[in-house]
Amino acid sequence: MADCPKVRFEDHTFWNDCKYICTVTGKKMSVDDPKVKHMCKCEYGEEYRDCPIYKDC
């Protein structure tokens, strides 16, 4: 799995409210967000490199 190095996992097991956070924009995304699945943490390839935010870093 290719993971974007700018995205980190924030685990809130007490509330079961786990999120992914883009460390560049501060945007929080749910674990089932399509952007996370298809770009930030895709099953193959490195799709995150096509993200305009990642390119500008």
Candidates 46, 22, 17; CA nearest to 32 is 17
Please tell me the predicted confidence (pLDDT) of residue 26: 92
**What's the pLDDT tens digit per position in 1-53?**
689 999 999 876 666 678 999 999 999 999 889 999 899 988 888 999 998 88
Domain layout of the chain by residue ranges: 2-55
Please tell me the predicted confidence (pLDDT) of residue 29: 93
DSSP string covering 26-40, please? Answer: --EEETT-HHIIIII
Please tell me the predicted confidence (pLDDT) of residue 1: 62
